[in-house]
Each structure stands twice: as C-alpha cells, then as structure tokens.
Structure 1
C-alpha cells in the first residue's frame, strides 16, 4: 500500500530546518543545495519528495522497504535530492524532444552529468492525491520568472510502475504564458478523464536565460 503525500510551504520550512540542524550536528555527510534554483513542490517531484520525506533521515535502513524508489535514488546519488532544485538544462532552445530521449524525461536527458538518472527508474514512486483539476505550485528560490510552463500528464492506461516515461505516453494538458519573477508561482491545470496513478511532467522555461527545468511528479487521481 502506498503512502500519499501532500506538500506545502509550511511543511517545506519545517523539513528544511530539520535538514539544516542535522547538518550542523554533523549527522549528514552531504550539504544542502548551494545554488538558488527551483522546482515544483506540489505535487511533489520525485527528488523533492525523497528529500522531503528522508532528508533528515536518509541513512535510515527502513527506507529500503518503506520507500524503495527513494532508496534506490539515495543510493545512486544523494546529491540528486540535496539539489532537488537543480534539475535543468541550458541552451535547449525550446527543442525539448530532441534534448530528452524517451526513458530519460525525468532526469532531464541525464542532466548535470547524469546526477538525476535515478529519477528515470521505473517503479512504485510515492504519489500525491489530486483531482482532475489541480494546482501546480513552483517554488523558485532565485525568482527567475517563467517564459512559459508546459504541463503534460500520462494517458489513461499508462502504468508508470512498469513502463518508462516516453513522449508518446504523455498528453499536453496546459501551457501558460509568462510569469514575472517570484519565489512562488501557482496555476490551475485540468486533466480530465483520468483516474489512478499517473505522472505529471512539467516543463518550466525560466525567463532569465535559456534554462529549462524538467520535473516529474507522481500522482494519484482520485
């Protein structure tokens, strides 16, 4: 049985303080993200969710059984979680399909030298419960703003626990215009005729330069 996770700014603050406190005490061997970037925090992206749930307890062996997809991610590269806000590519020029091969969408086409490759792993990632109308919440530490967002959702019948994410498995359900620089951007998305487990794939084109973020969120339509 899978736990469903809801995220929010207050919980993010509590967890962030816990991680920083643990680092001060020398309980972790890794550092918190140094670069100021951003990510979708609700519905939680794969690496943000793993950081949120386990960032202050990432050496806990229980993770292997309670949250196996996060376990494999932490084992592969803990910096993919500490740098949950750094999954981006420079210089794509809007040609997203050429930059991201099928099966590598959640890692941004093996962005940052493959740091995020574990995000492409197929399996039972923890999900966030949402309805067919839901809100995307981007937290942007650097207030880059956005030229646009594109939100894709997997088609009904796709099973992300057994199938790799491909462009053909996705449907574009929402495209925004520009957003002024802000640390918090939220907008409403409609994805009708879906139920059960899906992947929400968000493309965020930042406005400060040719920098694009590729963000996978596992959801459960209820």
Structure 2
C-alpha cells in the first residue's frame, strides 16, 4: 500500500462515513513514508510537524482552530503530509533561485506537481522553541548521504507570519561538507542576535544523484 492508495480513501468519507475511514487508515501499514526519502525532524519541517501532530487524527475539525496552518495544508493536499519525506527537486544543478522562486521556498518551487504548495502559505505555523545554539536533525530513510547541507535563518526583523519567504531574507548560518550514507544526520548550528519568530531553512543536497531537499522549519528563538 502506498501513500496515493491511502489518500484515495478520502473519497469514501461521504459514502461510508468518517469513522469507518479513520478505522481503515489505522489498519494500513505506514509503508508510504518508509519507501521515500527524508526531511528535517527537529526542528520539525512544516509538513513533518503536521503529520506528527495530526497524522492519526487528520479529520478532526478541532485542527482548524488549534493548528490552522496545518489544517489548510491537510485540506489542500493530504499527500503533502503523508509524503513528508518527498519534498525535493531533481536536476537543480545548484542554481536554486532559478528553480525555486521567491515565495515558493517552502514548497521547493512547487515541486511534485504542486503537492506541497500549501507549505508556502503565510501565517502563524506552529513553531519549535530553540536557543542560539541548536542542532538540525534530519531523517534519511533511504540513506542517500549528502554532498552538503546548508542551514539558513531568516534575518532579524523578517516576520514569517506576515511575509512570504524570499532568498534575500535568509542568513546562511551553517554549511557542511559531505556526509556518508546514514539514516540520520545532525548539523550543529551556532547563532547570535536572533529573537522571536523565524524560519530555519535547510537545503540538503543528496549524494546519490542531483536531488535537493528544501525544508522550512518554524522556530522561536529565546
């Protein structure tokens, strides 16, 4: 069973009832994500966080009030959460602004046929509390390895709850060398001068081919 099969169950909701759908979903194996790739799990990327908080209860209308940015993302395309580890582009050739325009950084330039477009929606996404010195942790289910990671933080004064994310708003705070194949990676980051709400933007250049992951994590410094 793959993620697309799981999401086809959405159409059953009106015919068979939400309770039955929820029961079926609970019985399905989670092989959809296991067959894919990876993402930042701490501080959680937008769609990983939505899957983590609501994957077992994604039809709960309470999400609209408790977690409205995740709610709009689930409504736009549940596959963006089930496939939290598939937000990548191939053949970028390192020229990222050319393929990922301003305002589309969190969706990887509307990659995968627009599956992740809702992640670009401006608003108060749930944020992870961090300090000046923090660690970006990634999960790599396919053990691709990395040519490098680049970690950015939005500049002080930029408001991600009210402004679309742009390349010009990003400060590079960490850049690594090569990582060998593994199921997890850690990138230590040391910063100063950041307070309040920000986006941590991670670029993961995989080693197995020209495949690049573009990952937005909402954070709160201090």
Q: TM-score, normalised by structure 2?
A: 0.87
Pair 1:74–1:143, CA change in 2 (3 A):
same
Which protein shows a greater Rg?
2
Q: State whether residues 155 and 169 of structure 1, in contact with CA within 8 Å, keep that contact through their aligned partners in structure 2.
A: yes
The 4+ residue runs of structure 1 with deviation greater than 3 A are 22-25, 27-32
Partner of 2:40: 40
Using the TM superposition, give the Cα deviation of residue 198 of structure 1 relative to its aligned residue in structure 2, in angstroms. Answer: 0.2
When you count helix as a share of all residues, which structure comes out higher?
2
Q: State whether residues 153 and 191 of structure 1, in contact with CA within 8 Å, keep that contact through their aligned partners in structure 2.
A: no
RMSD: 1.8
Q: State whether residues 34 and 141 of structure 2, in contact with CA within 8 Å, keep that contact through their aligned partners in structure 1.
A: no
Find the aligned partners of 2:145 and 2:36 in 1 and give their Cα distance.
13
Partner of 2:208: 208
Using the TM superposition, give the Cα deviation of residue 192 of structure 1 relative to its aligned residue in structure 2, in angstroms. Answer: 1.3
Matched, 1:164 2:164: yes
Partner of 1:74: 74
Find the aligned partners of 1:108 and 1:212 in 2 and give their Cα distance.
9
Partner of 1:179: 179
Residue-by-residue CA offset, 1:129-182 (whole Å, 9 max, x unaligned): 101110010100000000000111000011011000001111111110000000
Q: Give 5+ residue unaligned stretches, structure 2.
A: 1-19
Find the aligned partners of 1:119 and 1:85 in 2 and give their Cα distance.
14
Find the aligned partners of 1:190 and 1:148 in 2 and give their Cα distance.
17
Find the aligned partners of 1:63 and 1:191 in 2 and give their Cα distance.
33
**Superposition pairs of residues 15-54 of structure 1, within 5 angstroms:** 25-27=23-25, 32-33=32-33, 35-54=35-54
